[in-house]
A and B are shown apart, each in its own frame.
Chain A
């Protein structure tokens, strides 16, 4: 069985500061990892995904994530956040199908 842990339910950060949203997973098989963002009153949008190859993955809106197999982590980072980055962020794992297992989400609040 697969599971995803997002330890931080809420992360407040000032505008232009760096941010890291943590994600850890557990799985008995090879995994594919994803980060989705959910803006208020909108659907989920794919930020980035790791399928294979380079462990550093770059996504949209200046976000990137690094796959660390030994630590079973896939933390999301951005060097300088904007007010518009305020949203809920979900980490997800898949074993190859599209039935993702999502984490509980981290609410990022960017303060002026």
Chain B
């Protein structure tokens, strides 16, 4: 596709439920990143992938959060036993490769609301 695509754009779920958020990166981009943006704050790093492997998952807040990228393209962020504090916009970005000389392109995000 032309840009990074995230689905769904909006997700409302009940506290305690499981959710999956999908990210389709730009074709050919090997690096993929997940960020979380809470209301009134800047994006907060969660995890990034180089190919299929998670190169850095130090930003995941706890073990309820998990992300995969099994074929090195599409990624899924999975949240178990959701809590109201998980409500935020989840942003995905991709870049051609990993490094400061390449631009990261962001998707429009998935707005998750836990009620």
| Given A46-B103, A51-B100: A99 and B43 interface contact (C-beta under 8 Å) | no
Inter-chain contacts of A71 with B (CB < 8 A): none
Query: Quick one: which of B1-58 are within 8 Å of A by CB?
Result: 3-4, 31, 33, 35, 40-45, 48, 56, 58
Interface magnitude class on chain B? 20 to 34
Least CB separation from A51: chain B residue: B100
Looking at the complex, which of A12-20, A36-44, A73-81 is the stretch in contact with chain B? Answer: A36-44
Inter-chain contacts of B33 with A (CB < 8 A): 98-99
Inter-chain contacts of A105 with B (CB < 8 A): 40-42
A74 CB to nearest B CB, Å: 14
B114 touches A (CB below 8 Å)? no
Check if B104 sits within 8 Å of A46, measured CB to CB.
Answer: yes
Inter-chain contacts of B93 with A (CB < 8 A): 44, 98
Check if A94 sits within 8 Å of B91, measured CB to CB.
Answer: no
Check if A90 sits within 8 Å of B43, measured CB to CB.
Answer: yes
**Bound Cα distance A105, B37 (Å):** 11
Inter-chain contacts of A100 with B (CB < 8 A): 35, 43, 45, 104
Inter-chain contacts of A98 with B (CB < 8 A): 31, 33, 48, 93, 95, 98-100, 102, 104
Complex A-B, nearest 5 residue pairs according to Cβ-Cβ distance, in ascending order: A102-B42, A43-B106, A44-B106, A99-B45, A43-B108
